Amino acid sequence: MTPWRCPLCAAASIRAANTVPDAAIGEQDSEPLEVTESTHELRLESTSPTSKSYRCEAGHCFDIAREGYVNLLPVQQKKSLSPGDTIESLQARRRFLDGGFYQPLRDALTEVITPCQTLIDLGCGEGYYTAALNDVACEVIALDIAKPAIRMAAKTYPALRCAVASVAAVPLADASADAITSIFAPVPLAEMLRLLRPGGQVVIVTPAPAHLFSYRQALFEQVHDHEPSKFAEAASEHFQVVLQKEVRYDISLDQAAINDLLLMTPYAWKANPVRLSAVAQLQSLHTEAAFSVLVLSKPMLDLGGA
């Protein structure tokens, strides 16, 4: 199993590394400061007959919750009290996804990912896609900044290794992953490069231009196309683009699914209230599901950092 890394020690060593040039100024007689590379590995230990926690060499301790996940998000990395998706949005997402509307996308994911040992799903949400990734990876690590998301994922899918963490500072060692997925979630290119072994795979899913077109037409006077190509452009500087494909089909939504979509997407915040309430009262709606699936690979030779 891939060991977790202590987020507090990792943050401290980045701070130390950043202070080296300044600290060295004027210290002509002393040896230059050296920052030793450490893995800051967390070790599992039993704190009582019924509870376990992870501890690093410096003594930082992270309890394992009843549902089996660990919270590795230091308060310093929290930009709000409850970062990430809300419970209401997560529950709506779970109801909607359990309705099978996006199952073709879930199936497409397991087809494009090369079977491997360790896969990290960044911004995993309540875990619908993450759980399916166990079909192609022996160890699936599920990370999200929202504690309620990780609690739901860990409770429903015990085979996943779940942690509350930010994609901006993933608590895992360099080159520890064979594959990384980001499904409608943030795309931290520098962290992806650090975490992937050479030759490793990245899969990024974003809405394709026509995604939910008639649904968005009902909500907005002007409908703007989603722009998946911008991800490929940004990533191509550091990764090889292996494949970009669209998964596209029609879906028929009932009133419950229409309202769950409103709760789980940002559309509801942006729509005008009159249109929003008209959509919320629709009994059914026929629309399009269209996803862009971008597959990248980390070059075997270092082409320079992100």
Q: Which residues make up the interface to ligand SAM (CB under 6 A)?
A: 84-85, 93, 123-125, 128-129, 144-146, 149, 166-168, 183-186
CA separation for the pair 69, 279 (Å, rounded): 38
DSSP line for 131-167: HHGGGTEEEEEEEES-HHHHHHHHHH-TTSEEEE--T
145 versus 202: smaller Cβ distance to ligand SAM? 145
Q: Should residue 56 be labelled a site residue for Zn ion when binding is judged by CB under 5 A?
A: yes
On the CB side of 53, CA atoms within 13 Å amount to 12
Q: Compute how many residues bind Zn ion; rule: CB under 5 A.
A: 6
Which is nearest to 251 in space by CA: 32, 97, 137?
A: 97
Please report which helix (H) or strand (E) contains residue 132, including its range: helix 128-132
8 versus 204: smaller Cβ distance to ligand SAM? 204
Please report which helix (H) or strand (E) contains residue 18, including its range: helix 7-24
Q: Should residue 8 be labelled a site residue for Zn ion when binding is judged by CB under 5 A?
A: yes
CA separation for the pair 260, 289 (Å, rounded): 15
CA separation for the pair 27, 6 (Å, rounded): 31
Which is nearest to 15 in space by CA: 42, 35, 39?
A: 35
**Closest separation between CB of residue 271 and ligand SAM, Å?**
17
Q: Dihedral sign for Cα 249, 254, 256, 262, please.
A: positive
Q: Should residue 6 be labelled a site residue for Zn ion when binding is judged by CB under 5 A?
A: yes
Q: Which does 247 bind (CB under 5 to 8 A by kind): Zn ion, ligand SAM, none?
A: none
The one among 58, 159, 190, 234 contacting Zn ion by CB under 5 A: 58
Q: Which does 56 bind (CB under 5 to 8 A by kind): Zn ion, ligand SAM, none?
A: Zn ion
Q: Should residue 55 be labelled a site residue for Zn ion when binding is judged by CB under 5 A?
A: no
129 versus 239: smaller Cβ distance to ligand SAM? 129
Collapsed DSSP state (helix, strand, coil) of residue 214: helix
Q: Which does 68 bind (CB under 5 to 8 A by kind): Zn ion, ligand SAM, none?
A: none
Q: Which does 125 bind (CB under 5 to 8 A by kind): ligand SAM, Zn ion, none?
A: ligand SAM
**Closest separation between CB of residue 121 and ligand SAM, Å?**
7
For residues 24 and 33, the answer to whether their CB atoms sit within 8 Å is yes
Q: Should residue 14 be labelled a site residue for Zn ion when binding is judged by CB under 5 A?
A: no
**Closest separation between CB of residue 237 and ligand SAM, Å?**
21
Q: Which does 9 bind (CB under 5 to 8 A by kind): ligand SAM, Zn ion, none?
A: Zn ion
Q: Which does 166 bind (CB under 5 to 8 A by kind): ligand SAM, Zn ion, none?
A: ligand SAM
Token pair 């309705």 is at which residue? 99
118 versus 166: smaller Cβ distance to ligand SAM? 166
CA separation for the pair 36, 17 (Å, rounded): 9
CA separation for the pair 269, 104 (Å, rounded): 28
Residues at the contact surface with Zn ion, assessed by CB under 5 A: 6, 8-9, 56, 58, 60
